C-alpha cells in the first residue's frame, strides 16, 4: 500500500512540474507573439522615427540597419525583447521550483517507506512552506499567462519566492506549537512576496523592538494615475518607475515588455502622467471635461484651433472658376449658334457646352456644400472645445487664458507628440 502511495506522490510531482511549465509555454506561444504583433502594428514609419529620436537604439550590428525604419524597428524589438530574454529567467525559476517539488516528493516518499528516517517535525515546516510557495507562484504564472502580463522579472521574483519560503517559514512559524507550525508555514508560503516581507518586518519590529519599520507610504502612482492598483504599481516599481515624473517620460515599448503590461495600457498611463506634471492634483478636477491625459488635452487644443482646411477652400475656388469658364463657353456657343443655326458642328458644340455647364454647376454646388458643412463642423468643434476649456478653467478658479497657456505647453511637449502618434496609429502590416 505504501508503495502505491509513493508512486502516486511521484506522479503528482510530475503533474505539478507539467503545470509549472504550461503557463510559460502558453504565454510564449500566444501572449508574447500577440504583444509583439500589437506593438509592431501600432508603430508606423513616422512614429518609429519619433521613437528613435527619444530612445535611440544601441550601436549594435543586430539593431542598426540601413534599410527601412520598420525593418530596423523589428530588429530592435527582437534584439531587446525576443524570446531569448525569457530563457535564463525561466531556467532559474524552473530550477528552484522543480528542485523544491522533487525534494518534497522525496521527503514524502521517505516518510511513507521509512517514517523513522525523518529527523524531526521541522521537515514538515519546510515541505509545507515549499508547497505554499509553489501554489503561490503557480497561481501567479497562470494569472500572468491569462492576462498576458508575464515578464522576465516576474520569473525571477517567482524563483526568489521559492528560495526564501523555507527560511521565512522557520523564522515565523517555529515559535508556535508543532501542530500549528506546518499550517502557518503553508499559509506564509502562499503570501505574495512583498506582503510577506512587510509582515516579517512588522514581526521583527514588534519582537525585537527595532523601532519604526520605515515602510514606504502608498505608491505615488496609485494615488495619482487612474488604472494603477497595488499589483500594477509593484510591476512599475520592478522597472524602477515609482514616481509620476519617471512614468511620464518612460520608454513605452520597453516598459510594456519588461513590465508585462498591455501596450495601450502603458501609453494611456504615460499620457495621464504627462498631464499630471503640468496640472498636478488639479487633474482630478478637470478629467470630466475631457482633460484625462496629455493626448486628450492636446486633441482639445487642436480642436480649439480648428479651421477649415485649405484643400476645401481651394476646391471651392477652383469649382467656381470652372463654372465661370463653362458659362463663358456656353455663351460663346450660343452666339455662334445664333449666327449659323443650321450648322451641325455649331449645334453640337452648343450641346456639349450646355452639358459642361451643368456638370460645372453640380461640382460647384458640391464644393460649396462641402465647404459650408466643414465650416459649420469647424465652428461646432471650436465651440465645444471652448466650452470644455471654460468649464475646466472655472473649476480650477483660474483665468481661461492661463489655463489655455498651460494646455498649449502640454500640446507642444515633443513627448506628447510621440504618445499621440503611437495612440493614433493602426495596424498597417
What's the pLDDT at 75? 84
Radius of gyration in angstroms for the set of CA atoms belonging to the chain, rounded to a whole number: 34
Question: Whole-angstrom Cα distance, residue 133 to residue 180?
Answer: 18
Burial of 157 (0-12, 13-18, 19+ CB in 10 A): buried
**Which of the four pLDDT bands, split at 50, 70 and 90, describes residue 248?**
very high
**Within a domain: 337:** no
* Mean pLDDT for the stretch of residues 410-427: 83
- The better pLDDT of the pair 312, 323 is held by 323
When pLDDT is cut at 50, 70 and 90, the band that residue 231 belongs to is confident
**C-alpha angle 78-84-88 in degrees, rounded to nearest 5:** 150
| pLDDT one-digit tens code per residue, 107-123 | 888 877 776 666 566 78
Confidence at residue 111, expressed as pLDDT on a 0 to 100 scale: 79
Kindly state whether residue 133 falls inside one of the protein's structural domains: yes
Average pLDDT for the chain: 79
Contact 252, 262 (CB under 8 A): no
Give the residue among 197, 176, 194 at the shortest CA–CA distance from 185: 176
Domain-located, residue 347: no
Is 136 domain-assigned?
Answer: yes
20-46: average pLDDT: 85
What's the pTM value of the predicted model, to 2 decimals? Answer: 0.70
Handedness of CA 165, 166, 167, 171 (dihedral sign): positive
Q: Are 123 and 110 in contact (CB under 8 A)?
A: no
Total structural domains in the chain?
1
In a domain, 124, yes or no: yes
Looking at the domain assignment, is residue 158 inside a domain? yes
Q: Which of 81-90, 210-219, 275-284, 318-327 has the lowest mean pLDDT?
A: 210-219
* Structural domain contains residue 301: no
pLDDT of residue 61: 40
Task: Return the higher-pLDDT residue of 66 and 273.
Answer: 273
Mean pLDDT in residue range 196-224: 66
What's the average model confidence in pLDDT over 351-372? Answer: 73
Q: Is residue 38 situated within a structural domain?
A: yes
Residue 169 to residue 134: CA distance in whole angstroms:
14
Residue 181 belongs to what domain range? 2-42+83-208
Of residues 245 and 216, which shows the higher confidence score? 245
With a CB cutoff of 8 Å and minimum separation 6, the contacts of 61 are none
Highest-confidence range of 30-44, 90-104, 114-128, by mean pLDDT?
A: 90-104
pLDDT reported for residue 10: 86
Task: Report the alpha-carbon distance of residue 391 to residue 7 in Å, rounded.
Answer: 72
Q: Which residues contact 412 (CB under 8 A, 6 or more apart)?
A: none
Amino acid at each position: 500500500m505504501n508503495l502505491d502511495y509513493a508512486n502516486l506522490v511521484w506522479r503528482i510531482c510530475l503533474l505539478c512540474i507539467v503545470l509549472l511549465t504550461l503557463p510559460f509555454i502558453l504565454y510564449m506561444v500566444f501572449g508574447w507573439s500577440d504583444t509583439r504583433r500589437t506593438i509592431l502594428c501600432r508603430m508606423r514609419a513616422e512614429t518609429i522615427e519619433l521613437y528613435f529620436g527619444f530612445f535611440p537604439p544601441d550601436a549594435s550590428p543586430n539593431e542598426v540597419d540601413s534599410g527601412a525604419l520598420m525593418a530596423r524597428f523589428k530588429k530592435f524589438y527582437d534584439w531587446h525583447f525576443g524570446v531569448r530574454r525569457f530563457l535564463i529567467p525561466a531556467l532559474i525559476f524552473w530550477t528552484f521550483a522543480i528542485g523544491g517539488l522533487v525534494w518534497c516528493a522525496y521527503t514524502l516518499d521517505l516518510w511513507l517507506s521509512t517514517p523513522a528516517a525523518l529527523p524531526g517535525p521541522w521537515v514538515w515546516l519546510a515541505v509545507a512552506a515549499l508547497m505554499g510557495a509553489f501554489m503561490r507562484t503557480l497561481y501567479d504564472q497562470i494569472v500572468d499567462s491569462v492576462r498576458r502580463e508575464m515578464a522576465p522579472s516576474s520569473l525571477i521574483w517567482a524563483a526568489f519566492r521559492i528560495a526564501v519560503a523555507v527560511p521565512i517559514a522557520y523564522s515565523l512559524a517555529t515559535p508556535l506549537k508543532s501542530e500549528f507550525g506546518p499550517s502557518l508555514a503553508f499559509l506564509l508560503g502562499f503570501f505574495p512576496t512583498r506582503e510577506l516581507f512587510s509582515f516579517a518586518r512588522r514581526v521583527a519590529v514588534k519582537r525585537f523592538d527595532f523601532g519604526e519599520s520605515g515602510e514606504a507610504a502608498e505608491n505615488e502612482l496609485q494615488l495619482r494615475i487612474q488604472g494603477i492598483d497595488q499589483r500594477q504599481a509593484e510591476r512599475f516599481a520592478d522597472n524602477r518607475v515609482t514616481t509620476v515624473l519617471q512614468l511620464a517620460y518612460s520608454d513605452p515599448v520597453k516598459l510594456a515588455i519588461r513590465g508585462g503590461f498591455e501596450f495601450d495600457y502603458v501609453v494611456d498611463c504615460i499620457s495621464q502622467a504627462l498631464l499630471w506634471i503640468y496640472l498636478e492634483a488639479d487633474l482630478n478636477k478637470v478629467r470630466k471635461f475631457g482633460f484625462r491625459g496629455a493626448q486628450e488635452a492636446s486633441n482639445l487644443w487642436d480642436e480649439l484651433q480648428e479651421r477649415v482646411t485649405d484643400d476645401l477652400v481651394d476646391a471651392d475656388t477652383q469649382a467656381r472658376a470652372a463654372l465661370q469658364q463653362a458659362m463663358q463657353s456656353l455663351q460663346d456657343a450660343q452666339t455662334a449658334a445664333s449666327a449659323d443655326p443650321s450648322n451641325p458642328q455649331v449645334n453640337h458644340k452648343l450641346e456639349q457646352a450646355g452639358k459642361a455647364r451643368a456638370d460645372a454647376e453640380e461640382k460647384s454646388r458640391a464644393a460649396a456644400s462641402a465647404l459650408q458643412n466643414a465650416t459649420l463642423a469647424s465652428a461646432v468643434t471650436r465651440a465645444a472645445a471652448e466650452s470644455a476649456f471654460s468649464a475646466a478653467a472655472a473649476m480650477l478658479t483660474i483665468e481661461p487664458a492661463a489655463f489655455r497657456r498651460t494646455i498649449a505647453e502640454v500640446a507642444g511637449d515633443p513627448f506628447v507628440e510621440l504618445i499621440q502618434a503611437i495612440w493614433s496609429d493602426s495596424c498597417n502590416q
